[in-house]
């Protein structure tokens, strides 16, 4: 079982990650660009998802269907995210390695090139 604290620990070593908010929910950003956030009340009202904590991360739109198809159910989407390069993660159910991988992809999609290069050198 993961929590937002788990998410923060995974991302803590990456360049220029800051804790912030997005849509009044806890979020992590890289140089001011959000790369993950928890669902909040606004999101729950639009969904019938049964999970205690849901995390939104970015992905390549072309990769989204693959991620959803290969998931054990911990990675999913909702109608609001149709056509958008993002997936949802049930933190209660996700494997930590999968979570780390999805967070890294989201981070790299949002980070400026200079940080991606710096990250690749580590």
Number of domains present in the structure of the chain: 1
Of residues 28, 38, 40, 24, the one with CA closest to residue 106: 28
pLDDT (tens digit, 9 = 90+) per residue, 36-91?
Answer: 999 988 887 778 787 789 999 999 999 999 999 998 899 999 988 899 999 999 99
Helix (H), strand (E), coil (C) string for 16-35: CEEEEEECCEEEEEECCEEE
Average pLDDT over residues 90-112: 96
pTM over 0.85: yes
Helix (H), strand (E) at residue 70: helix 61-70
In a domain? residue 35: yes
Does residue 122 register a pLDDT over 60? no
Give pLDDT, residue 91.
Answer: 96
CATH number of the domain to which 88 belongs: 3.90.1150.30
In a domain? residue 47: yes
Give pLDDT, residue 106.
Answer: 98
Average per-residue pLDDT in the chain? Answer: 92
Give pLDDT, residue 45.
Answer: 78
Domain membership of residue 23 as a residue range: 4-111
In a domain? residue 116: no
In a domain? residue 78: yes
In a domain? residue 52: yes
Give pLDDT, residue 120.
Answer: 64
């Amino acid at each position: 079982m993961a929590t937002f604290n788990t998410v923060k620990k995974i991302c803590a070593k990456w360049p220029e990650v800051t804790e912030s908010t997005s849509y009044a929910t806890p979020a992590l950003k890289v140089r001011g660009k959000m790369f993950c956030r928890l669902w909040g009340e606004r999101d729950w009202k639009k969904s019938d998802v049964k999970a205690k904590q849901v995390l939104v991360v970015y992905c390549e739109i072309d990769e989204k269907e693959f991620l959803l198809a290969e998931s054990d159910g911990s990675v999913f989407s909702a109608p609001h995210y149709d056509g958008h390069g993002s997936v949802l993660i049930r933190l209660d159910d996700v494997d930590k390695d999968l979570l780390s991988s999805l967070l890294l992809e989201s981070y790299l999609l949002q980070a400026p090139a200079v940080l991606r290069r710096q990250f690749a050198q580590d």
